[in-house]
Amino acid sequence: MAAASLVACCLFPAAVTAAPAAPLLETDTARATAGYFRLHWQATTPEVRLERAATAAFDAPHTEYEGPDRARVLSGQPDGTSHFRIAALEDGRPVARSEAVAVTVEHHPLSRAFLFFGIGAVVFLSTLALIVHGARRDES
């Protein structure tokens, strides 16, 4: 029996196909505070599908991207945690999936934005006052 499968393997190599390796998905950050982040992946198939889900179980995945690219920047994301995975595609069907990657988006609080705006306004007004004071001093 083993000899027969060895002969079939050697005589008909196209009949023996290995399953594609699982893609590798990575992110530049697990916590995004600006509402955007980058996902990049490696896959052995020319086409992939980037899937997103609200839970790690991928109960209801949503297709974010499908095609030949090997990276994606997602921007304008709301606060919360999303789970992503890559499906390697052959003839439009998934043949292997990556491990899931979770990204949590936590925007800066509005109070911090107003603090930075206030500091910027103080620096701007101080610079303006120095310019006006120096110009008046040069006139006299």
Domain positions in the chain are 8-107, 108-140
Give me the pLDDT at residue 8, please: 47
Q: Which stretches of the chain are assigned E, i.e. beta strand?
A: 24-27, 31-32, 37-42, 47-53, 62-67, 71-74, 80-90, 93-97, 101-105
What dihedral angle (degrees, nearest 10) is formed by the CA atoms of 9, 11, 12, 17? Answer: 30
Please give the CATH number for the structural domain made up of 8-107: 2.60.40.10
Res 13: pLDDT:
53
CA angle 113, 117, 122 (to 5 degrees): 150
pLDDT tens, N- to C-terminus, the chain (140 residues):
455 445 445 555 555 567 778 999 999 999 998 889 999 999 999 999 999 999 999 999 999 999 999 999 999 998 999 999 999 999 999 999 999 999 999 988 889 889 999 999 999 999 999 999 988 888 87
* This model's pTM is above 0.85: no
Residue 115 half-sphere exposure, CB side, CA atoms within 13 Å?
Answer: 5
pLDDT of residue 34: 84
